[in-house]
Amino acid sequence: MRKVAVVGVGMSKFGELWDLNLRDLVVQAGINAIKDANIDGTEIKALYGGTMASGRLIGQEHIAALIVDAMGLNPIPATRVEGACASGGLALRNAYFAIASGAYDCVVVGGVEKMTDATTAEAVTALGGAGDQEWELLQGATFPGLYALMARRHMLEYGTTEEMLAAAAVKNHANAMHNKYAQFHNPITIEDVLHSKKVADPLKVLDCSPITDGAAAVILMDLEKAKEHTDNYVEIAASAQASDTVALHDRESLTEIRAAQIAAREAYRQAGITPKDIDVAEVHDCFTIAEIMAIEDVGFFPKGQGGRATLDGETKIGGTIPVNTSGGLKACGHPVGATGVKQVVELTWQLRGEAEGRQVADAQYGLAHNVGGSGATCVVHILKKP
Amino acid sequence: MRKVAVVGVGMSKFGELWDLNLRDLVVQAGINAIKDANIDGTEIKALYGGTMASGRLIGQEHIAALIVDAMGLNPIPATRVEGACASGGLALRNAYFAIASGAYDCVVVGGVEKMTDATTAEAVTALGGAGDQEWELLQGATFPGLYALMARRHMLEYGTTEEMLAAAAVKNHANAMHNKYAQFHNPITIEDVLHSKKVADPLKVLDCSPITDGAAAVILMDLEKAKEHTDNYVEIAASAQASDTVALHDRESLTEIRAAQIAAREAYRQAGITPKDIDVAEVHDCFTIAEIMAIEDVGFFPKGQGGRATLDGETKIGGTIPVNTSGGLKACGHPVGATGVKQVVELTWQLRGEAEGRQVADAQYGLAHNVGGSGATCVVHILKKP
C-alpha cells in the first residue's frame, strides 16, 4: 500500500446556520482546505463526501455529485460514503484507499450535514435511522434512550457517577472556548449539567451533543508527493474499521463498544505504537457516556476507569491524554457527516502546532475515534507528525 | 495497483416482493454469491453496500452495518456507498480499491433497495433526491420529466422516433424471458409501448423502468489469490468514474451524458481496448432514451445513431453488440442500489458461459454502464474472461 498524508484542512463554522445551505457550508470548508493545502483545484482527482441523512433532512441524495458540482470540480469522480455518525471517518478511509491503491495522487474529503432545515422531530427520527429501525426506533428507542441504557449499566458495573459524566461535557465546553469554529462558546459547570433538563435518565440536555449545521474538509495526497509539495504535512499512520450488531439488544455488553476496541487494536498495530504513544485524541462524544466508553475502548484507561479519570482532569489539555480539544461533538457541535472529518482537521492543527489557545505541547501522534449509531460502526485513524 | 477478480456472484429475485424485507433480500443474494464463490464466509474481510434511499424508503440509514449483521459477518468493516442509481457500481468500485490497495484480499459487495414498502408518491419523491432537490424536484421536475426532455431533444436533433425508443423496451422484455430473476416475464411489442399510458411525453409507461425490490452480490478477490482459488474467475479490466452537474439545466447538451463518455473513455484506456472489443454490455436503461444515449456515449454507435441501431436489432442477442441481456432495468427491474451490482452479476454469467437461454457466444469482454440521476454520476466497469 502507498502511504498517505494530509496536506490541507478546512472547516465551516459549526452551529445553527439558518442563512447557509448545504452547498454554502461545503464550499466554505472546501475552499479553506484548498487554500490551506496551497494547491490548485485541478490537482484534485477525486472527491469523497461523508453525510448521513441528507435524504431525510433536506430531501437530497446524490450528495457527492452535488458537492463536486458546487466546488466547481467536475468531472472528477465523486462518491458519497455513509456509516451513520461515522460517515465522515468512512469517507476519509475510502479516499485513503483510493490513494493507497495508486489510482489517484490527490483526493479531497468533505463531510457535511445540514440539520436545522428539519424540525427537531424530523431530525431525531432521521438520526434514529442509525439504529435498527425495525427493532429499536419503531419501538420508541431514540438515541438518547439507547445511550442512557449504556450509561445506567456503566454506573451499575463500575460505580461511574453523573458527576463523572458531566465532567466530560464541562471539559469540552472549556476547550471549545478556544475554537472559533465551535457551536458553543459558553463555559459550563458540573452543577449546570446536573441541573439541566432530563432527556433520558441519567442523561440530561448538557450530556448530549447538539443538532448542528457544518462542514469540514481534508485534502489527502500520496506521501511521497506530499513531501515534494510541502513540509507541513501530517502522515496517516493507520486507518482501521470494525462493525458490531446494529441493535443494542444483540450485544454481549452494554458498557463497551466492541467495534471501537477492534478498530483501535488494529490501528495501533498498523502504526506500530501503543495507546501510551498517543498525545492527543478526538473521540466520539455524542453523549458524555460515549466519551467515557471511548477513552476506555481505545485503551487510554482500563475499562470502568474512564469516568474517574475524566473527573480527575486526566483528559484535559495538560492532563495525561488530552481528549476533544476541539470541544468534541458536545461543544464544537455534531453535524453528523462532518464530525469524522472535523476530528482529523483538529488533529492536523494539533500536530502542526496551530491549535491556537488549545495547543497540546509537542504532539507527535493523534487518534480519531468516530462511531456510527450506538456502535455498529467504528473507524479509528492515527495521524503522525513527520 | 493490484489486479482484482470476480470469484462469485448471486442475486435475489427482483420484483414486488411484499413478503421479503431488506435483510431477507440481502441474505438471499449474499448466500448465493458465497455458494457460487465456493468460499467460507470467514474469508471475506470487508463489505461494501450500495443503496440509494433506504432512509426515505424504509427509515433505515447505516445500511452496510445492517447487512454485515444480517449476513453474520461481524466484525468486518462495512461501508455504504451512495451515488443515486449508480450506488451499486460505486460500491463495487470502492471494494475494488480496497483490494487494489492491498488492504484486503477478499471483499463482498452487496447492492440492495427495498422500494415497495413506500407508497408510489413516496418512492417518486425519494428518487427525485437523485436530481437537484432545490432546482429541479421542488419545481416539479420528476425523473420521467427530466428524461423526457432529453428524449424530445434527441428526437429533434437526430430524428430519433418513438418506435426506436420502444424497440429498446421490446428487446429488454424479450431478454428477460430467459432470466429467472427478472421482474417481468411478459413479451411486449412496439405497439404495446406506443399505446401504453403517457408518463411524460414522449415517454410512456413501457418506456420506464419499474419500482422494484431486490438485491445482488459480488465477491471480489485479489487476482493472484483468485487464480489459486478457482479457474472460474473473471478479471476486472477497468473501473472508471466521472461526474457532471446535478441539474440538467446546467449541461451543455441534453442528448449526451458527458460523465458516461469520460468514464467509458477512461475504462477503455485502462483495459487497453476499444468499444469494438466489447462483446456484451449492461447499460443503464432507466428509461428507453437512456439506453439509446448510453450505447452512443460508450462508443458502440455514433451520436444520434443509437435509436436506428436499436430498431434494426443491432443490440439484440446475435446482433453486433448485445445490450442488456439480463432484461436491463426495464424488464429485469430496477431496485436502485442493486442495479449496478446486478449488471456485473449478469456480465460474469455471460463471460463464464452460464447465461442460460440468453448466452452471447464466445463473450470475452463485458461492459457495465451505471448512471446516477440524470447523469451527474457515471461509473463504467469492464470485465474480461481470462
Query: For position A350, which CATH number holds?
Result: 3.40.47.10
- Our answer to whether residue A334 is catalytic in this structure is yes
The pLDDT value given to residue A265: 98
The pLDDT value given to residue A273: 98
Q: Are residues A261 and A301 in the same domain?
A: yes
pLDDT class of B19 with cuts at 50, 70, 90: very high
pLDDT in tens, A298-333: 999 999 999 999 999 999 999 999 999 999 999 999
Asked, for residue A126, whether it belongs to a domain, the answer is: no
> Is the CB of residue A55 less than 8 Å away from at least one CB of chain B?
yes
pLDDT in tens, A218-254: 999 999 999 999 999 999 999 999 999 999 999 999 9
Average pLDDT score over chain B: 97
Average pLDDT score over chain A: 97
% pLDDT > 70, chain A: 100
Q: Are residues A245 and A365 in the same domain?
A: yes
Q: Are residues B58 and B155 in the same domain?
A: no
Asked, for residue A323, whether it belongs to a domain, the answer is: yes
Domain hosting residue B354, numbered range: 131-209+238-384
Q: Are residues B326 and B189 in the same domain?
A: yes
Which stretch of DSSP H or E encloses residue A82? strand A78-82
Q: Report CA-CA distances (Å) from A130 to A109, A134, A172, A309, A374.
A: 22, 11, 24, 29, 8
Asked, for residue B126, whether it belongs to a domain, the answer is: no
Q: Are residues A172 and A101 in the same domain?
A: no
Q: Are residues B77 and B156 in the same domain?
A: no
The pLDDT value given to residue B376: 98
The pLDDT value given to residue A109: 98
Q: Are residues B151 and B170 in the same domain?
A: yes
What mean pLDDT is predicted for residues A78-91? 98
Quote the DSSP letter at residue B383. Answer: E
Q: Are residues B287 and B298 in the same domain?
A: yes
Q: Are residues B107 and B179 in the same domain?
A: no
pTM for the structure as a whole:
0.98
B94: chain A residues, CB-CB within 8 Å = 79, 81, 94, 97-98
Q: Is there a contact between B232 and B238 (Cβ–Cβ < 8 Å)?
A: no
Q: Are residues A83 and A224 in the same domain?
A: yes
The pLDDT value given to residue A212: 98
> Is the CB of residue B242 less than 8 Å away from at least one CB of chain A?
yes
The pLDDT value given to residue B322: 98
User: Which region, left, alpha or beta, applies to residue A17 given φ > 0 means left and ψ of -120 to 50 means alpha?
Assistant: beta
Asked, for residue B124, whether it belongs to a domain, the answer is: no
pLDDT in tens, B178-193: 999 999 999 999 999 9
The pLDDT value given to residue A217: 98
Q: Are residues B172 and B227 in the same domain?
A: no
Q: Are residues A270 and A184 in the same domain?
A: yes
Give Cβ neighbours of residue B137 (< 8 Å, ≥ 6 apart): A59, B125, B128, B129, B131
Give Cβ neighbours of residue A260 (< 8 Å, ≥ 6 apart): A242, A293, A294, A297, A298, A369, A371, A375, A378, A380
- Our answer to whether residue B85 is catalytic in this structure is yes
Asked, for residue A41, whether it belongs to a domain, the answer is: yes
Binary contact (B53, A60; C-beta < 8 A) = no
Asked, for residue A374, whether it belongs to a domain, the answer is: yes
pLDDT in tens, A327-378: 999 999 999 999 999 999 999 999 999 999 999 999 999 999 999 999 999 9
Binary contact (B241, A79; C-beta < 8 A) = yes
Phi, psi of A130, rounded to the nearest 5 degrees: -80, -20
Asked, for residue A272, whether it belongs to a domain, the answer is: yes
pLDDT class of B87 with cuts at 50, 70, 90: very high
> Is the CB of residue A82 less than 8 Å away from at least one CB of chain B?
yes
Instruction: Work out how many domains chain A is built from and give that number.
Output: 2
pLDDT class of B8 with cuts at 50, 70, 90: very high
Asked, for residue A125, whether it belongs to a domain, the answer is: no
A24: chain B residues, CB-CB within 8 Å = none
What mean pLDDT is predicted for residues B83-103? 98
